[in-house]
């Protein structure tokens, strides 16, 4: 569940931040969301204290979502 949030927030941030056309930026952001999700899932299985993993996942998703919101509408 947290991996989806991180992947979505990171892809929105990338789509707004990449210096490409809107269509190309969205394509690259969607393609990049799959390895981002994979890394979060692998990290979740590796993390020992569960609370540390949740803090990291929610913090990363919050940072990405906050930066995307700060950048304004696309």
pLDDT digits (tens, 9 = 90+) for 34-49: 999 999 999 988 888 8
Query: Do you know the residue count of the chain?
Result: 74
The whole-number pLDDT of residue 50 equals 86
The pTM (predicted TM-score) of the whole model is 0.86
The whole-number pLDDT of residue 47 equals 84
* SS3 assignment for 38-70: HHHHHHHHHCCCHHHHHHHHHHHHHHHHHHHHH
> pLDDT tens for residues 16-74?
999 999 999 999 999 999 999 999 999 988 888 889 889 999 999 999 999 999 998 76
The whole-number pLDDT of residue 1 equals 76
Contact present, 16 and 74 (Cβ < 8 Å): yes
Range of 43's domain?
2-71
Q: How many domains does the chain have?
A: 1
């Amino acid at each position: 569940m947290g991996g989806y949030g991180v992947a979505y927030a990171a892809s929105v941030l990338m789509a707004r931040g990449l210096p490409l056309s809107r269509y190309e930026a969205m394509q690259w952001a969607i393609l990049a969301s799959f390895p981002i999700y994979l890394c979060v899932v692998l990290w979740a299985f590796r993390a020992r204290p569960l609370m540390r993993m949740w803090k990291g996942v929610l913090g990363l998703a919050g940072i990405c979502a906050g930066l995307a919101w700060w950048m304004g509408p696309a």
